[in-house]
Amino acid sequence: MYAAGRQTFSLGLSCVIVAAAAVMALAITDVPFFTKGEPREALVVQQMAATGNLVLPLLERGEIQSKPPLFHWLGTGFSKILGGVTETTVRLPSLAASVVILAMTGLTGLRRAGPAAGLIATIMLATSFLWLQASTIARVDMVLAATTAGAVMTFDRAWTGPAPRLPTMFWLLGGLGVLAKGPVGLAVPAIVVACYLFARGESSRLADRRTLNLPAALAGLALPLLWYLPAALEGGHAFLAKHLLAENLLRVVDAEGSGAGHVKPAWFYIPALLAGFAPWSFLTPAAAADDWRRGRRGLEDGTLLWWIWVAVTVLMYSVAGSKRAVYLLSCYPALALTTGAWFARRFASRPAFAPHPSLPSSVTLFPAALMALAGLMIGLEACSVPTLSALSPVLSRHDAANLTVVIETIRSRPALWLIGSVALAAAAGMLAFAGREGRSLTAFATVATFMLLTSAAVGYAVLPALAERLSVRTLLEPWHSRIAADEPLSFYGRFDYLDYVRPAVTYYAGRAVPVRDGSEALGRSGRSWLLITHSRLDELRRAAAGELGAPVRIASRLYDGRGSRREPLLLVEIGEPAGGPGNRAATAEMR
């Protein structure tokens, strides 16, 4: 691998990308939405596809979408090509953006540090925890990461060429970044470039119009206006208040007061980055120390740019009060490039499977022990010996509730998970052997394969089971075709997690679902449908019997809203369908 030429590199890069995309595809295919964020973005795609309005399709209650439309345009395009809006088509933009950046990371590493560094960096990025996760969800963050990372990498390629300048693609990708999530999409790559040129003593060259590439800069700045101007005209004050104030300015300066959420302390991103780039983050400090010892002259292979890229991204997002781990996705390629280049330098001088005395067994002993323990616990659980439940006391209530689903999944397919436990034990043994013998490549390949296979198992078995338990699709889908368009469907009053489930209910119902209470919710003729929490069911039955003389029949139930913290949500039917009691058989057994 370390002696790989360009042809071998191309084959290896293709295999890595195909394998990663296949694993990611398992987690996006027919897995119902069970969080708040995904159906919120899916609603925009659904409305764009239904109305043809690609500028500002109004959502339920006339709400304006909270993010610029690049992600939604891509989702709408995939939906048109594949025949309709589904969970898969809405998630495809994230997967596609991830694949593009994996390829660009590999090619950047090849050009700057050689084929080994490029291939290792791609593998590290493709198998890092948060990158795998974010590549499979319908959120705008991976598309933003692709535009930001793509802009920095196209700058690096052009600046190291015969005529250094800011390339047209840098400005266009920056403009697309603004269309992905706002001004931060251009601000981050621009500040990264400015800091890099300042560190190299070349910032004065930006005063040259040819180096700045002024026509391309104007085109990149104008690109977002093609959406922002018509959207402002269509949305008026509500659009300006949401996109210029709430989603950008107030999220930075007053996240808590503005209700933006995700308010975290200033140091939040340090552990978040270590966890998100796992399992490779334990190598990153060694790479940083080695690059520090090499000094600035030793960083002409692109490493200086990559470290500045990481530092600027972390510092810029740390300034904002609203923080989420996925905001740092755009610097993950830089982390992979620095760590991958260090790994290649450290071990490239030896044949692929030759022992290397500088790889201490202690580096691999701890992860090997964890893998062996996980394999043992899964194997015992598959044999109906309760072991995983011992983790509940150290988990949050939400995670403890999800653990119950994991346990049920393992016990429902014992043969599959027994094979998985044996594979985990074998991987642990291989990793321990690699550490003892100093075989760095074997250790690296074992960890990377473990990450991919674990993600495949989660996407194939765990996520679908978790989604079926928590998604409102489970609640609505069996009855969706039987709820006539003229039959009211509404929430029966407010409850504590209403705002959480409302986007998903609207998406799967395909219509606005208002909140009604008391007699307003009951209707006066025909049949109506209500979504109600279990604690209010008796109250509804009394009201329906007193005002309508009609029974309340439970059509289906969602075990809980999200974990054990929330009570069951029910879909109930009140009254008779338009055809009268004779049509009752069409609704089947209601309990």
pLDDT tens, position by position, 453-498: 889 988 888 888 888 888 899 888 888 778 888 888 999 988 888 8
Report, as an integer, the average pLDDT of 544-572: 75
pLDDT at 294: 80
pLDDT tens, position by position, 341-390: 999 887 765 554 555 555 555 567 878 888 899 889 999 998 988 888 88
How many beta carbons lie within 10 A of that of residue 586, not counting itself? 9
pLDDT at 247: 66
Cα–Cα distance, 182 to 244 (Å, whole number): 9
pLDDT tens, position by position, 114-173: 899 999 999 999 999 999 999 999 999 999 999 999 999 999 999 988 888 899 999 999
Cα–Cα distance, 87 to 43 (Å, whole number): 11
pLDDT at 588: 38
Cα–Cα distance, 183 to 320 (Å, whole number): 14
- 107 has pLDDT over 70: yes
The H or E element that residue 39 is part of is helix 37-51
Kindly state the percentage of the chain with pLDDT values over 90.
Answer: 42
Q: Which residue has the higher pLDDT, 579 or 93?
A: 93
Global pTM value: 0.89
Report, as an integer, the average pLDDT of 514-527: 77
What's the CA dihedral at 330, 333, 338, 344 to 10 degrees? 170
Helices in 438-516 by DSSP H: which ranges? Answer: 440-457, 463-470, 472-480, 498-509
Report, as an integer, the average pLDDT of 537-543: 87
- 590 has pLDDT over 60: no
Amino acid identity for residue 107 in this structure: L
Q: What is the 3-state secondary structure (H, E, C) of 281-316?
A: HHCHHHHHHHHHHHCHHHHCCCHHHHHHHHHHHHHH
pLDDT tens, position by position, 385-434: 888 888 878 776 667 777 887 888 888 888 888 988 998 899 888 888 88
Least confident residue range of 107-116, 152-161, 272-281, 540-549: 540-549
Pairing of strands 515-516, 489-492: parallel
Report, as an integer, the average pLDDT of 187-209: 89
pLDDT at 586: 39
Q: What is the 3-state secondary structure (H, E, C) of 548-587?
A: CCCCEEEEEEECCCECECCCCEEEEEECCCCCCHHHHHHH
pLDDT at 583: 44
pLDDT at 362: 59
Least confident residue range of 126-130, 262-266, 350-354, 507-511: 350-354
Burial class (CB in 10 A: 0-12, 13-18, 19+), 537: middle
pLDDT at 524: 65
Complete DSSP assignment for 388-416? GGGGGGGS-HHHHHHHHHHHHHHHHSHHH
pLDDT tens, position by position, 215-260: 999 999 999 999 999 999 988 888 888 777 766 665 655 555 445 5
The H or E element that residue 257 is part of is helix 255-258
Report, as an integer, the average pLDDT of 43-71: 87
- 504 has pLDDT over 80: yes
Structure tokens at 272: 């978040």
- Greatest alpha-carbon span in the chain: 85
Report, as an integer, the average pLDDT of 2-17: 80
- Please give the mean pLDDT across all residues of the chain: 85
Give the chain's length: 591
pLDDT tens, position by position, 65-103: 889 999 999 999 999 999 999 999 999 999 999 999 999
Kindly state the percentage of the chain with pLDDT values over 70.
Answer: 87
pLDDT at 188: 95
pLDDT at 260: 53
